[in-house]
Structure 1
Amino acid sequence: LAAFCPGADLRLTVHKLPDGRLPVHWDEAKAAVEELRERTDPDLVLAPRTDDAHQDHRGLAKLVPTAFRDHLVLGYEIVKWDGDLGRMAAYQPLSPEIAEEKVRLLQEHYASQRHRPWYDREAFLGLARIRGIECHARYAEAFAVTKLTLDLGE
């Protein structure tokens, strides 16, 4: 996390929820998200998309907006074999250098995923290129937005 967010004030809490079992540990997961909200007041919350095919990702995506009701929550996408990529609503253009750096960091720091056939440079840059096309940039990240409050003044 520190490699992705240099200079940020990072505080990490790890809970012992079994992988792939969030639905049966709903109360514990909900308590963890609510406890996080009590300790923080972020400007932006990044969480999985609510229509992510993985049950843990989808469950977390449903919990986050219930705790962070007055916050901007952006749902990120995870390329994987499920084929659950959707239509995004928010885009962050990336320079080619930032796109390459992100891929390098993903490959360097998430060794637990390296064995997966979809976890490679081509997949990450390919998705970033497609999202870039959608927002008239070379590369981009895209996010789902379930609620956005605009304050345009009066």
Structure 2
Amino acid sequence: MTNNYNKILVLAPHTDDGELGAGGTIAKFLEQGSEITYVAFSTAGDSVPKHLPRDILKTEVKQATNVLGIKEENLIIYDYAVRKLNYVRQEILENLIELRAQKDFDLILIPSINDIHQDHLTIAQEGIRAFKQYNIWGYELIWNNLQFNTTCFVKLDLSHVQSKVNALKMYKSQGFRDYMSSEFIHAHAKTRGVQIGCNYAEAFEVIRSIN
């Protein structure tokens, strides 16, 4: 795949969603010289294990995106309440429109439009509203997807998959989740690679393609 995307915007409902859904692709595009802006809408303080600081995910997303190679100035963190993003749709839309005015993006990465998590679906819908004249891909978080249309694949090297694993290791507060394990990350990337005849890949839904 030839990368024609110079400026990419990753919309993550919660810290870690962008890495989970597109971490390998982010690593590859950065390696190829793309500029990537990562926006996290909730640091999910109410979901953090009780023995940890409520704002720990804010620290961890900074570490994780740094591991991937995203510039500090290209990380934007909002602090909307977890599981309640649907109550602040207008505010989120205004955030996105403001961002759209600041940079001319080539590609927007959002959660799948088939994602059943209320926060994920909200960001997907508002992302489409704000960027309806842009290329948009939906990334997969398979534990939340009732279905997923694999209409686009990005071939990955082992190094890209490992960068994704290394980034996710920064989320120590979330390490108990099965989908955070390196075994799962490698296996899923291997599965997507088998589908297109390569070693590793990530899959996306093409929501809009403009040529």
Could you say which TM-score interval applies, normalised by the shorter chain?
0.7 to 0.9
User: How far did 1:83 drift?
Assistant: 5.3
Change in 2 beyond 3 A, CA 1:137/1:86? same
> 2:134·2:208 contact (CA, 8 Å) conserved in 1?
no
How far does the alpha carbon of each residue in 1:35-57 deviate from its partner, in whole angstroms, 9 at most, with x for none?
A: 21121211221111111121111
How far does the alpha carbon of each residue in 1:78-102 deviate from its partner, in whole angstroms, 9 at most, with x for none?
A: 243x454523111111112221222
Change in 2 beyond 3 A, CA 1:139/1:98? same
Q: Find the aligned partners of 1:60 and 1:9 in 2 and give their Cα distance.
A: 22
Flag structure 1 segments of 5+ consecutive residues without an equivalent. Answer: none
Note the aligned Cα RMSD (angstroms): 1.9
User: What letter is aligned with 1:118?
Assistant: Y
Change in 2 beyond 3 A, CA 1:110/1:126? same
The equivalent residue for 2:118 is: 55
Q: Find the aligned partners of 1:57 and 1:112 in 2 and give their Cα distance.
A: 20
User: How far did 1:113 drift?
Assistant: 2.2
Higher helix residue share: 2
Change in 2 beyond 3 A, CA 1:95/1:11? closer
Q: Find the aligned partners of 2:167 and 2:178 in 1 and give their Cα distance.
A: 18
> 1:79·1:118 contact (CA, 8 Å) conserved in 2?
no
Q: Find the aligned partners of 1:13 and 1:104 in 2 and give their Cα distance.
A: 21
Match of 2:84 among 21, 42, 47: 21
> 1:128·1:141 contact (CA, 8 Å) conserved in 2?
yes
Q: What is the number of equivalent residue pairs in this alignment?
A: 147
Q: TM-score, normalised by structure 1?
A: 0.84
Q: Higher RCO, 1 or 2 (CA under 8 Å, sep at least 6)?
A: 2
Change in 2 beyond 3 A, CA 1:42/1:83? closer
Matched, 1:5 2:69: yes
The equivalent residue for 1:106 is: 168
Instruction: Classify the secondary structure of the residue corresponding to 1:13.
Output: strand
Matched, 1:95 2:152: no
User: How far did 1:114 drift?
Assistant: 1.2
Q: Find the aligned partners of 2:146 and 2:186 in 1 and give their Cα distance.
A: 17
User: How far did 1:10 drift?
Assistant: 3.8
User: What letter is aligned with 1:61?
Assistant: A
The equivalent residue for 2:109 is: 46
User: What letter is aligned with 1:2?
Assistant: N
User: How far did 1:120 drift?
Assistant: 0.5
Instruction: Classify the secondary structure of the residue corresponding to 1:101.
Output: helix
User: How far did 1:30 drift?
Assistant: 1.5
| Identity level (%) | 27
Instruction: Classify the secondary structure of the residue corresponding to 1:118.
Output: helix
Q: Find the aligned partners of 1:77 and 1:65 in 2 and give their Cα distance.
A: 16
Q: TM-score, normalised by structure 2?
A: 0.63
The equivalent residue for 2:59 is: none
